[in-house]
Structure 1
């Protein structure tokens, strides 16, 4: 006679979650995710969903990649927790060995692994202040860097992340990012014009608000994520590098969402040729296992006092083993080639939507792509890009309709933006399936008004 207790029903599990999981977490669907495999998620109510979110750019090799899962399982039988303040462990060192050839500049040779993107941002701010002896940090309008206090202070994509939680970390100043919508300009505004506007405003910021002698670092995503999936023009990043070199300011490049082949290169900063002083990674690093990294050059990290950095779970052995297998799979399975091939197909599938008055822009790099829709209200009554002839809340309604048709996809930013984050090894067939669902959803919602 079986002594195994009966399994709870899906409905009862969902009800339990509603009652006991903090209300501070939002969800797209009231369901239990039971299984992930490749580009699909299976829910407890039987639905099999095409996943165009990848856990927000995390499962870059798809869910439960066999090589990654096997490496983690094997490591679990050797060493689960090798605390970094006690000694080295082999997966940590193996991961550095795998990542060194991937770096956008050979000067990035000092690695500190922790657990989350926010934690990496906090550590980078701490390092920048410590090694420069300066305190202020310049962030970008539209930036997202996390929800812990330091990271939240440099996040400027939406007030929802910091509303009711002030006062935030002091010493933070915001510079404009070269996104046409920030300046109420049309989508076809030349990036050179946007770059000139933003660099001039940054120079004014350094003259009016935070002097260079007080400014430790500028932090920027080479593709702003939660701010709307907008790639930074190469000339803007090059301009930041010149200013930082001139004023002895560190340049922190946040590749948490854009890194690890997501944009068609190992890291998005490579499009500009700019050398980061500090680079942050997480998300796609370990394909779902919690791991992040702060990467800098030894001449900076050598200034840190031993014991000033650390963390109980920093560079967990199982997560590092998974990350080693992930890096190997990137190379062995020709993932970068797939990203660039599927990217061309994705843009081709979306391009016909440009003729729809409701569509303002289609943009991105690699498989980090967004469609921005017009709005009848805009961000305010003063928004000249308002279009009273289009339906309201298009991005949310389209994402919901996609979900009803069997695909998860995410919105982002203060604007009406839907973002595409499929697995980097997605097949042409699954990519087309997702694009067909999206285009059908757009057509239906626009027609409904």
Structure 2
């Protein structure tokens, strides 16, 4: 079927809230390229929203999935366990920088991982409250919608959210929230809303994902760790988007040297296969009773095989080094754009987790969400998938595969530059 026929089916049968606004349908993909149902070639700077750090259909991952399909597809690991689950748990325990010996539970999505992290924290502390941050994004389930630091479009139409979730400011100096402001705000939240003795955990992203790719400083993360320790609260770090090599480390928290009690991860774990994980200190993870964590499909054999293959690719192809190199290339090009274009400001990257803000006034840091949307639309017309994000909808984020070929990378960046020129903001 071609794009027009598939769009007709989408309009008739896919719920509006779930339907993509895109009018092209993926037919096949390889590394950083997608071909649509009409045969058009498209450069992918979205990576399935940060899922494809090792590229579309990495051959080693594809082979691992095919091999697993010849063995076992599903048993439900709580009914009949299998090697893949425990091998993934072993690897993640060894690689994840939590305090002490790590233990692992696997789930299906980032939201499920966050839900289970909260369950574990409540079981381990006997407390209910959770503190999150403005601009944070943790998922689309009810608990994670309550935890999100941005209402639209995630929670706008869905009524009351679960309680015992409180908010503190995230440090974004560019938008007038200094590290000192954020820490004072967190302390005020603990004083006025969330009694420390009733608070199970503080949950934060070391680099905001949907909130705009703003990285918290090591000193801020260390201060949060100290506040958690002072009050007997757990520190939960959400690495769903920033983890698995995006920032040049396996996990972004490693840039700070801070060891959380729990880390959640998903997205690029398995190169597109659905899996997520909660990794935490053994005593914390063992706090809840038998059969209290899990689900029918959690840690499926096929997804576990893909995860193990991804970890091999990271080592064999030096993905972390490639992420650093990619980030340097992006940073250099962004810096040039910031000089050349009146609308490009606040360029930034941590490894290959890279972004810049689109503004109407650099001096005032005035967000320009309308132009941001126009740039994404124009890029799509020229054969490039580009994503926006941010509390103000004016951040362009770059999540191309870390394995992208250099000529494809440069072609995509040239398209972005052409869009900036065509929209007359030089």
Give aligned pairs, total: 424
Of 131, 147, 153, the match for 2:124: 131
Equivalence map 1:254-333=2 (5 Å):
254-333=238-317
Deviation at 1:106, TM superposition (A): 6.0
Equivalence map 1:378-389=2 (5 Å):
385-386=365-366
In 1, distance between residues paired with 2:424 and 2:374? Answer: 10
Which residue of the partner structure matches residue 85 of structure 1? Answer: 78
Equivalence map 1:47-446=2 (5 Å):
47-105=40-98, 107-183=100-176, 194-355=178-339, 356-375=341-360, 385-386=365-366, 393-415=370-392, 416-446=394-424
Deviation at 1:275, TM superposition (A): 0.6
Deviation at 1:25, TM superposition (A): 2.1
In 1, distance between residues paired with 2:79 and 2:217? Answer: 43
In 2, distance between residues paired with 1:406 and 1:10? Answer: 15
Q: Give the direction of change, closer, same or farther, for the CA distance of 1:142–1:26 in structure 2 (3 Å limit).
A: farther
Secondary structure class of the residue paired with 2:219: helix
In 2, distance between residues paired with 1:241 and 1:48? Answer: 46
Secondary structure class of the residue paired with 2:153: helix
Q: Answer yes or no: is the 8 Å Cα contact 2:89–2:105 preserved in 1.
A: no
Deviation at 1:166, TM superposition (A): 2.1
Q: Give the direction of change, closer, same or farther, for the CA distance of 1:315–1:430 in structure 2 (3 Å limit).
A: same
Secondary structure class of the residue paired with 1:138: strand
Unpaired segments ≥5 residues, structure 1:
1-7, 186-193
Q: Alpha-carbon deviations, 1:345-397, whole Å to 9, x = none?
A: 11111111122321221112111111101137x9xxxx95438xxx7611111
2:10 pairs with 1:25: no
Deviation at 1:432, TM superposition (A): 1.4
Q: Answer yes or no: is the 8 Å Cα contact 2:240–2:267 preserved in 1.
A: yes
Secondary structure class of the residue paired with 1:81: coil
Which residue of the partner structure matches residue 3 of structure 1? Answer: none
Q: Give the direction of change, closer, same or farther, for the CA distance of 1:438–1:178 in structure 2 (3 Å limit).
A: same
Q: Alpha-carbon deviations, 1:94-123, whole Å to 9, x = none?
A: 222333332224625100001000011111
Deviation at 1:427, TM superposition (A): 2.1
In 2, distance between residues paired with 1:320 and 1:34? Answer: 25
Q: Give the direction of change, closer, same or farther, for the CA distance of 1:126–1:218 in structure 2 (3 Å limit).
A: same
Deviation at 1:414, TM superposition (A): 2.8
Q: Answer yes or no: is the 8 Å Cα contact 2:117–2:278 preserved in 1.
A: yes
Q: Answer yes or no: is the 8 Å Cα contact 2:331–2:349 preserved in 1.
A: no
Unpaired segments ≥5 residues, structure 2:
none
In 2, distance between residues paired with 1:179 and 1:17? Answer: 39
Query: TM-score, structure 1 length as denominator?
Result: 0.91
In 2, distance between residues paired with 1:102 and 1:442? Answer: 41
Deviation at 1:27, TM superposition (A): 2.2
Query: Greater shift after overlay, 67-76 or 350-359?
Result: 350-359
Aligned Cα RMSD in Å?
Answer: 1.8
In 2, distance between residues paired with 1:216 and 1:291? Answer: 25
TM superposition outliers: structure 1 runs of 4+ over 4 Å: none
Q: Answer yes or no: is the 8 Å Cα contact 2:338–2:347 preserved in 1.
A: yes
Secondary structure class of the residue paired with 2:366: coil
In 2, distance between residues paired with 1:370 and 1:327? Answer: 26
